[in-house]
Amino acid sequence: MKEIKVFNKDLKDDFKKELTNLIHNFDTFEGGVGKRNIIKIIPIEGLSLNIKAFKIPNVVNKIVYNFFRKSKAQRSFEYANKLMDLGVGTPKPIAYIEFKSSFFFNKSFYVSEQLDCDMTYRELTKDFNIPDYDAILRAFTRFTYGLHEKGIHFLDHSPGNTLIKKIGNSYQFYLVDLNRMEFGPLDFETRIKNFARLTTHKSMVETMSDEYAKCSGKAYNTIFNLMWQETQAFQEKFHRKKRLKQKLLKK
């Protein structure tokens, strides 16, 4: 028999009950984005909740997540709280929810407050005419440098996972899709490799390398050569996997 548990000891009982009911009826709500994982924005008690339903794991991971490893929902919730403690922007975490039986893990959900933003980093890779473009990209680079200085290695540092919001004359950045993170000192190579998934554009790599050099005191050429090398290596690996997948689908 599957049991549902809502995790966040600070939630009031009435809110937890309403949230549980909402999760039970998650599939009946319209909308939703995503293929593997589905995200829906649902209002509750004056809040707009961002609810991420993770894909049901395969048979092996149903056992792994039940006994040996924290679920993606739990990691997302815990990492969000840790980011907030470290002064890093992320949508406010509300709870994580899991369905389990005695032996198998089933569904899980991560719930946060919906954060409306002006853009994501992805828009910077597509539109070079965005007002304040250079300032935004340099501010993003300083934000990433700040993550590294705080010992935060965001493993999914990719174009869609940083929300950007203009507040006054400055820009604030918020991380999403948080279930893959590591914490601890980062060496130079790890720091620069963390930029590899962000863009294919050499001009953006040049700007980010220049700003990271200003932040770190390292030589621009050293940073650029490594960042561009890692960017190209990631793209080569990505397209190689894509070609292999297409070949397998044709068989």
The CATH number for 200's domain is 1.10.510
Residue 54 lies in a domain: yes
127 in the same domain as 96: no
Last residue within a domain, chosen from 113, 133, 148:
113
235 in the same domain as 125: yes
- Residue 106 CA, chain-centre distance (Å), reads 22
Residue 41 lies in a domain: yes
Residue 47 lies in a domain: yes
For residue 221, the enclosing domain spans 119-245
133 in the same domain as 76: no
Query: So what's the pLDDT on residue 16?
Result: 92
58 in the same domain as 156: no
Question: DSSP H helical segments within the chain, as ranges?
Answer: 13-24, 59-67, 72-85, 121-126, 133-149, 188-193, 202-216, 220-250
235 in the same domain as 148: yes
Non-local (6+) Cβ contacts of 77 within 8 A are 7, 8, 93, 95, 96, 110
Apex CA 72: angle with CA 109 and CA 49, to 5°?
30
Q: Which residues of the chain have pLDDT under 70?
A: 1-2, 246-251
d(CA 197, CA 158): 5
52 close to 110: Cβ distance less than 8 angstroms: yes
55 in the same domain as 21: yes
User: Which one-letter amino acid corresponds to residue 139?
Assistant: A
Beta-carbon neighbour count of residue 232 at 10 Å?
A: 14
Query: So what's the pLDDT on residue 1?
Result: 44
Residue 167 lies in a domain: yes
Last residue within a domain, chosen from 64, 81, 113:
113
129 in the same domain as 90: no
User: What is the number of domains present in the chain?
Assistant: 2
21 in the same domain as 107: yes
66 in the same domain as 177: no
Query: So what's the pLDDT on residue 20?
Result: 92
Model pTM? 0.91
Last residue within a domain, chosen from 113, 141, 163:
113
Residue 250 lies in a domain: no
Residue 251 lies in a domain: no
Query: So what's the pLDDT on residue 251?
Result: 58
175 in the same domain as 131: yes
CATH of the domain at 74: 3.30.200
Residue 201 lies in a domain: yes
108 in the same domain as 52: yes
Question: DSSP H helical segments within 89-219, as ranges?
Answer: 121-126, 133-149, 188-193, 202-216
141 in the same domain as 219: yes
